[in-house]
Chains A and B, each alone.
Chain A
Amino acid sequence: MMEIIIGTLSGIAASMGFGGGFILIIYLTVFVGVDQITAQGINLLFFLPIAFVSLIIHHKNKFVQWKKLMYLIPGGLFGILVGVWISSHINVDFLQKMFASLLIFVGVKEIFHKNSEKHLTKQKQSNIIKLLKCNDREKDS
């Protein structure tokens, strides 16, 4: 039963780009007693087919920017190698805490961002109302 709930929730989060890993990894390590590295491995295996299915649908909806992605991949793969090498030489705890502080800053900014779409639609609405009024005036005269 828990497999159904955790599997589905992780799938939804992973598909939406929320990082489904955190649900599955937390569940496996805290409630099942799997160690962190094994849980990360399970999450990797879980993510591959889920991402594949999601991407088919995202592609149909024209949300995947493939051209931009092609620019990201070489740096991304090189970055992993460098990151793994650095982490095997120094303690990364402090770096990770700094990253977390940056996340708080960006997270708060995103939560309280000004909704430009709403603003735009309101502007559009007022434009439409103005146009309608002009039409009415023309009709009257």
Chain B
Amino acid sequence: MKKHIMGLLCGLLNGLFGSGGGIAAVPLLEATGSEAKESHATSVAFIFILSIATTISYLLGDKLDFITAAKYIPYGIIGAVIGAIFLKNISNSVLRRIFGGIMLAAAIRILLK
């Protein structure tokens, strides 16, 4: 039940603000006993599924700029491989501290908006 509510909460954030579900998923997963690395990888999978749904809704409504996206994707894939190697080798503790910093930065950006 707890996990269903967690999913609902993250989806709700994404629906309300257009983002935020991923940033909430990581500490929620950690709170249910996942290690930091597992939480981060599982949140990528979760946001991947939610993004497919959102992309479908974008396809039905607004036009999507495929050409601009295509300029960044090849380098993004290189980044994806580097990031995955980083995630494997970083310690759970350092990962949590970095992500804490990212949470603060995201919060400040929202509050200054």
Query: A interface vs B, CB < 8 Å?
Result: 3-4, 6-22, 24, 28, 34, 37-38, 40-42, 44-55, 57-58, 61, 63-66, 68-69, 71-87, 92-93, 95-97, 99-101, 103-104, 106-113, 115-118
Contacts and interface: CB of A to CB of B under 8 A. Distances in A.
Interface residues of B, number: 91
Contact of B6 (A13, A16, A49, A75): A75
Nearest to A49: B73
Nearest to A63: B41
Interface of B: 3-23, 25-27, 29, 32, 34, 37-55, 58, 62, 64-66, 68-69, 71-88, 91-93, 95-104, 106-111, 113
A124 B71 CA distance: 50
B43 to A, nearest CB: 5
Count chain B CB atoms within 10 A of each CB in A6, A16, A93 and give the residue with the most. A16
Contacts of A54: 41, 44, 80, 83-84
Nearest to B67: A42
A4 B71 CA distance: 9
Contact of B43 (A12, A17, A42): A17
Given A7-B75, A74-B7, A78-B8, A50 B62 contact: no
A11 B76 contact: yes
A14 B44 contact: yes
A71 B10 CA distance: 12
A103 B107 contact: yes
B4 A71 contact: yes
Nearest to A41: B64
Nearest to A59: B41
